């Protein structure tokens, strides 16, 4: 719980990852490059003199979550977001089954969301069983193989699967929510901070491994590491397809990443009452591009109101200890009252994901924000 100016706020971090990108799980050079670029992004966005060491960053489990997230006293509850990427990682990068296991050991502190590839017919058919087995509170629509894959959302079978998942308990659908080193083309400039878009001056992406660690290309049991391998950008989604999907599922709540689309395009989706926005990229962007990200935050507040915005850190990309205070200060500086600040910091997410928090505080905050 966070306290400022005599007000106490329940904090629900709606964007947290537990993943395994360690060498034994990397399926090849692309997996190693992905983790290295995420760590580069962490060092740029976290703005701490003591960034998370690479080995700890590559494998985030229960110990890291308790120490950095819950142990600092600012975050009360959190939502674990999945990310499979089966082409880059042997056992998956952040599979929902692992998240469910972690959440079971920390009862009541985490909500677990699942992953659904719109192109995976088998995954659609078994979604109800997965939702009930893992107690999934939401689903992320992502490619289960590679981060750059384009997602097609106009399949009627997908709409039927999401409708069945909502009836089973997963009433939230995420789009553009996940750990990416390079956002999709057309995303706001402030969401790109952390990883260079182009190779370094030598014409190649700088490898993090030393020259003496290069394996022999012939006869070696080690994977061949391409020095000029580039990380893939995030996959693209057609906003028109999103509008049709949201309109067809009025009982489902859609949570969109703030850095996934240009802000003017994203704000036009505010006309749909089922659309919410996760502020992860905006809050990190306030550190690297304060003017541009501040303008985006103002536009999102005007379009969606505080009752449809969610706090998220993207942990471990950004540790939430200081970010919570920065977010509260930014909202209060824009004239929002304590009830609206409470809605953004935790009340909205607690309602969407059915997380146990002090009922009197959250109910009071939501009613006043509305």
Mean pLDDT across 69-90: 86
Look at 30 and 54; give whichever has higher pLDDT: 54
The residues spanned by each domain of the chain are: 2-200+222-369
Say whether pLDDT at 8 is over 90.
Answer: no
Say whether pLDDT at 259 is over 90.
Answer: no
Residues 6 or more apart from 11 whose CB is under 8 A from it? 1, 2, 74, 75, 76, 77, 311, 320, 324, 345, 346
Q: State residue 267's pLDDT score.
A: 95
Say whether pLDDT at 262 is over 50.
Answer: yes
Say whether pLDDT at 7 is over 80.
Answer: yes
Give the integer Cα–Cα distance in Å for 215 and 222.
Answer: 6
User: In the structure, what pLDDT confidence band is assigned to residue 191 with cuts at 50, 70 and 90?
Assistant: confident
User: In the structure, what pLDDT confidence band is assigned to residue 1 with cuts at 50, 70 and 90?
Assistant: confident
Say whether pLDDT at 249 is over 60.
Answer: yes
Write the pLDDT tens digit of every residue in 278-313: 999 999 999 989 999 999 999 999 999 999 999 999
Say whether pLDDT at 115 is over 70.
Answer: yes
- pTM for the whole structure: 0.85
Give the integer Cα–Cα distance in Å for 77 and 75.
Answer: 6
Look at 296 and 369; give whichever has higher pLDDT: 296
CB 113 within 8 A of CB 165: no
Q: State residue 202's pLDDT score.
A: 35
Greatest alpha-carbon span in the chain:
68
Describe the crossing of helices 280-288 and 290-304 by its angle, rounded to 10 degrees: 150
The superfamily (CATH) of domain 2-200+222-369 is Metal-dependent hydrolases (3.20.20.140)
Say whether pLDDT at 220 is over 60.
Answer: no
Write the pLDDT tens digit of every residue in 133-171: 999 999 999 887 877 777 889 899 999 999 999 999 999
CA-based torsion, 186, 81, 17, 34: positive or negative: negative
Say whether pLDDT at 86 is over 80.
Answer: yes
Give the integer Cα–Cα distance in Å for 115 and 351.
Answer: 21
Q: State residue 27's pLDDT score.
A: 85
State the chain's mean pLDDT as an integer: 83
Q: State residue 235's pLDDT score.
A: 62
CA-based torsion, 206, 212, 215, 218: positive or negative: positive
Residues 6 or more apart from 304 whose CB is under 8 A from it? 267, 270, 275, 276, 277
Nearest to 11 by CA among 333, 334, 370, 331: 331
Write the pLDDT tens digit of every residue in 301-346: 999 999 999 999 999 999 998 999 999 999 999 999 999 999 999 9
CB 286 within 8 A of CB 293: yes
Write the pLDDT tens digit of every residue in 122-132: 888 889 999 99
Say whether pLDDT at 357 is over 80.
Answer: no
Residues 6 or more apart from 216 whose CB is under 8 A from it? none
Look at 30 and 282; give whichever has higher pLDDT: 282
Distances in whole angstroms, Cα of residue 251 to Cα of each of 238, 246, 305, 318, 353: 21, 9, 20, 32, 14
């Amino acid at each position: 719980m966070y306290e400022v100016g005599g007000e106490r706020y329940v904090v629900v971090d709606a964007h947290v990852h537990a993943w395994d990108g360690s060498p034994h799980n990397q399926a090849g050079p692309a997996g190693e490059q992905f983790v290295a670029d995420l760590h580069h992004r962490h060092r740029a966005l976290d703005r701490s003199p003591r960034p998370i060491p690479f080995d700890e960053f590559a494998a985030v489990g229960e110990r890291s979550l308790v120490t950095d997230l819950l142990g600092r006293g600012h975050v009360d509850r959190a939502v674990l977001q999945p990310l499979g990427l089966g082409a880059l990682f042997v056992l998956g990068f952040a599979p929902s089954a692992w998240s469910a296991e972690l959440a079971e050991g920390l009862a009541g502190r985490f909500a677990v969301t699942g992953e659904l590839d719109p192109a995976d017919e088998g995954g659609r058919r078994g979604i109800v069983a997965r939702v009930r087995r893992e107690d999934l509170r939401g689903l992320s629509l992502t490619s289960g193989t590679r981060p750059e894959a384009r997602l097609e959302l106009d399949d009627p079978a997908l709409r039927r699967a999401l409708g069945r998942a909502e009836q089973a308990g997963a009433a939230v659908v995420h789009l553009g929510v996940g750990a990416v080193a390079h956002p999709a083309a057309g995303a706001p400039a402030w969401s790109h901070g952390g990883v260079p878009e182009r190779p370094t001056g030598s014409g190649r992406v700088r490898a993090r491994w030393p020259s003496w660690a290069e394996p022999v290309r012939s006869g070696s049991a080690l994977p061949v590491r391409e020095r000029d391998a580039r990380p893939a950008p995030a996959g693209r989604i057609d906003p028109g397809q999103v509008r049709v999907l949201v309109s067809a599922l009025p009982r489902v709540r859609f949570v969109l990443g703030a850095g996934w689309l240009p802000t003017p395009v994203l704000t036009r989706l505010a006309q749909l009452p089922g659309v919410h926005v996760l502020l992860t990229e905006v809050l990190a962007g306030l550190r690297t591009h304060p003017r541009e990200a501040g303008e985006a935050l103002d536009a999102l507040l005007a379009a969606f109101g505080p009752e449809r915005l969610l706090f998220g850190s993207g942990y471990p990309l950004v540790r939430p200890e200081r970010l919570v205070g920065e977010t509260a200060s930014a909202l209060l500086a824009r004239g929002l009252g304590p009830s609206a600040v409470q809605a953004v910091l935790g009340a909205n997410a607690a309602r969407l994901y059915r997380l146990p928090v002090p009922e009197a505080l959250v109910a009071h905050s939501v009613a006043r924000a509305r």
